Structure 1
Amino acid sequence: MTQPRRNALTPDALQMMDTIARSGSFAAAARELGRVPSALTYSVRQLEDALDVLLFDRRSRQARLTAAGQELLSEGRRLLAEMDAVANRVKRVSTGWESELTIAVDGVVSRQTLLELVEAFYALRPDGQGSPGTRLRLRTEVMAGLWEALISGQADLAIGVGRDLPPHAGIEQQPLGEIPFVFCVAPHHALAASTDPISDDQLLPHRAVAVADSAQRMSPRTVNLLPGQDVLTVASMQAKIDALLRCLGCGFVPEPLAREHIRAGRLVVRPVGRINAPVRLGYAWRSSATPQPRQAPQGLALQWFLEQLKSPATRRALLERHQGQPSVD
């Protein structure tokens, strides 16, 4: 009985489960996979028969997973990621260049500087004929979501991770720098007229604007929010600044990101009573805690980006250059 069950867990079957779960219905999954719904339903029944379990609750019109189905989906996604990782390592051994490199960045990182690094990478000519051929994937994460993407294998390099995070096996870290946060409000906000440091009691009646932590499995982090305070939650730091400009609340933002608005008077900085120390950030990448003789060497694409990050000017630019501001030398 073990062999048929093993044979049923093919990459196609695992991908099918993932597609159904993501799309929310058999019909939508069938369209995405280029199959007719009846054929997809038949494939699911075959998988259920082979595993002798019920994967979907047939009483629901939606593709609702049973507990067994949820477990298969979770483990299946992990297996698919491992398969991709193996294929990537094999390719890396052959050429030295990864077939794909995923870089996750926090919302406080300068997109302009990051894209300039990408542009320089694509200009490489390692063979004298063309670019390395590594496909780059850029993704934005927030707070713990950045660390989660790295340790889960969804990212190879993370830029902007908090330096207060504990060490993790297989992850190496280096400092990126410090970024100051300032408390900002719109000029017509009720707190804009305050010149003395604003206490927590004075902040409590006013709505705060917060950026949602993008972590899905790790415990999300919250910063500078008071118990019982009304909160408007947005998806990115830029969205937070936009909300502050519209006087939808108050909050702490990275000074470099808000600098142009502060200089133009569209936002005003006010002192607060609580400790507001600069945030220490770093960059981290996946490596091996226990290298083996036959282990694939670190990919050349990751090596290239790590080499660029050794430059103090590059690290400063990643934290300082926003909205067309010149690089800090």
Structure 2
Amino acid sequence: MDSRFFIAPEQLEAFEAAARSGSFSAAARSLGKAQSTISGLISNLEIDTGLQLFDRSGREPKLTAQGRALLQDVRALLNSYSRFEAKSHSLSAGLEESITVAIDESAIDLNRLVRGLSPFYQRYSTVSLNLLHASGDSAAKLVREGAADIGIILSQGDYPEDFDFRGVGSCSFVLVAGVQHAIAEQESVSSQDLHDHLHLRISAAGDQGSLPENDLSDRIWYLESYSLFMKLLTAGLGWAFVPLHIARPYLDAGTIKVLPTDFQLTPYPYGTDLIWSRRKALGPAGQSLIDEISCVLAAAEAEPA
């Protein structure tokens, strides 16, 4: 005899609602069904499983030990079914299954990025987001190679013909060093002073970058993320150009300081762009993500300095 049986989601839903609410009548109200329907679904579930899930000897049904043992598994199954149903509806509507975003932290305040991701999640909870750290020009490279759908980067002078982009704001840089560094004690810093000390730079492996800071020192350490970068800087192991949104907490804490120079630096700020490739068309979720990020960055630009 075949011992396999089919359990309908409605049976599991009725069982979970009754267990949660404490009665068949309350479960019926919460699910918008007749009490007799709920009672029938649970009875059929007990028949199909061969288990007594509720003790009906009292005024209200109570979970048996067998019912309690199954409750968490039932809830897990219902959650999985809900996710499956939502994702299948999304895919049939043309939504992307996942979106990959390559992010250059120099180009965007991550706190502001989160403000754009939160409403996106509320609208597209079935779409998986892959958020990649990509310093220097590597974000644009990932988009060009199809490894990322969207890039958040410092503006470049020229993009390939198959790129689309949207300017979404600007990013200011400041020349800083740790307060422990000897150069931080000087009233005025010359280009020769910078040349004589270690320069810390954010850059992907093998990428010399495009910012006009390359010729200021021949003593350079390259790092791929700001986590170790800022630790080295605050420890007094060099000077650097740092995005203001990253430098600000350290400036406020007094662990780094802006260096006064006796020469003209290349004007800042740099623009921030969102980029994507025309060869890999964005679906509705990708377009919405660009709109959400653009919106929060535009609002940030309007805030007083």
Q: TM tier, shorter chain?
A: 0.5 to 0.7
Match of 2:83 in 1: none
Rounded Cα–Cα distance in structure 1 between residues aligned with 2:96 and 2:285: 6
Aligned match of 1:270 in 259, 275, 278? Answer: 259
Consecutive unaligned residues of structure 2, counting only runs of 5 or more, are 1-88
| 309 and 238 in structure 1: CA distance in 2 versus 1, 3 angstrom threshold | same
User: How many Å separate the matches in 2 of 1:275 and 1:93?
Assistant: 51
What stretches of structure 1 move > 4 A for 4+ residues in a row? 91-94
Q: CA–CA distance in 1 between the matches of 2:150 and 2:205? A: 17
Deviations 1:93-119, CA, capped at 9 Å, x for gaps: 843201111111111222233234333
Q: Give the structure 2 partner of residue 221 of structure 1.
A: 209
Pairing 1:143–2:136 present: yes
Q: Confirm or deny: 8 A CA contact 2:168 2:294 kept in the other structure.
A: no
Equivalent residue for 1:300?
284
Structure-2 separation of matches of 1:251 and 1:259: 14
Tell me the CA shift for residue 228 of structure 1. 5.8
Q: Deviations over 1:167-203 (max 9, x none)?
A: 213211111222111111111211112222x222121
Q: 1 CA distance for matches of 2:150 and 2:242?
A: 24
1:200 aligns with 2:227: no
SS in 1 for 2:156: coil
Q: How many residues are matched?
A: 213
Name the amino acid aligned to 2:196. Answer: P
Cα deviation for residue 227 of structure 1 reads 6.7
1:249 is matched with: 238
Q: Closer, same or farther in 2 for the Cα pair 1:92/1:145, shift >3 Å? A: farther
Asked whether the 8 Å contact 2:176–2:239 carries over to 1, the reply is: yes
3-state SS of paired residue (1:122): helix
Paired amino acid for 2:271: R
1:240 Cα deviation after fit:
1.8
Contact 2:104/2:154 (<8 A) preserved: no
Question: In the TM superposition, what is the alpha-carbon distance from 1:298 to its structure 2 partner?
Answer: 3.9
Provide the rounded CA distance (Å) in 2 between the counterparts of 1:92 and 1:211: 39
SS in structure 2 opposite 1:252? strand
Q: Which residue of the partner structure matches residue 309 of structure 1?
A: 293
CA contact 2:198–2:237 (8 Å) conserved in 1:
yes
Residues of 2 paired with 1:298 and 1:235: CA distance? 28
Aligned-pair distance for 1:163?
2.1
2:203–2:224 Cα contact (<8 Å) kept: yes
User: 2:99 matched to 1:101?
Assistant: yes
Distance 1:310 1:115, change over 3 A: closer
TM-score (norm 1): 0.58
Determine helix, strand or coil for the equivalent of 1:172: strand
Instruction: Supply the distance in 2 between the matched residues of 1:181 and 1:257 (Cα, whole angstroms).
Output: 9
RMSD between superposed Cα atoms in Å: 2.9
The answer to whether the 8 A contact 1:93-1:297 is kept is no
Offset, 1:225: 3.1
Report the 3-state secondary structure (helix = DSSP H, G, I; strand = E; otherwise coil) of the residue aligned with 1:191. helix
Tell me: CA distance 1:281–1:117, structure 2 relative to 1, closer, same or farther (3 Å): closer
Alpha carbons of structure 1 residues 316 and 328: separation in structure 2 relative to 1, 3 Å: farther
Per the alignment, do residues 282 and 233 of structure 1 end up closer, same or farther by CA in structure 2, a change over 3 Å counting? same
SS at match of 1:263: helix
Given the superposition, is the C-alpha separation of residues 262 and 276 from structure 1 closer, same or farther in structure 2, using an over 3 Å criterion? farther
Q: What is residue 274 of structure 2 aligned with on the other side?
A: 283
How many percent of aligned residue pairs carry the same amino acid? 21
Residues 279-320 of structure 1, C-alpha deviation per residue, up to 9 Å, x if partnerless? 2221112225xxxxxxx9740111111221342x43454x89
Distance in 2, Cα, partners of 1:228 & 1:255 = 21
| TM-score, scaled relative to structure 2 | 0.62
Greater displacement, 242-251 / 256-265:
256-265
8 Å CA contact 1:103–1:136 kept in 2: the answer is: yes
DSSP-derived class of the 1:136 partner: strand
Amino acid at match of 1:244: L
Specify the code of the residue in structure 1 equivalent to 2:109.
S
Describe the SS at the equivalent of 1:173: strand
Residue aligned with 2:237, SS: coil
1:244, CA displacement in angstroms?
0.7
Q: Please state how far the C-alpha of 1:276 moved relative to its aligned partner.
A: 3.4
Give ranges in structure 1 of 5+ residues lacking alignment: 1-90, 126-130, 289-295, 321-326
Please show how residues 70-219 of structure 1 align to structure 2 within 5 Å.
Answer: 94-108=92-106, 109-124=108-123, 131=125, 133-159=126-152, 161-196=153-188, 198-213=189-204
Partner Cα separation in structure 2 for residue 208 and residue 191 of structure 1: 12
Q: Which is greater in Rg?
A: 2
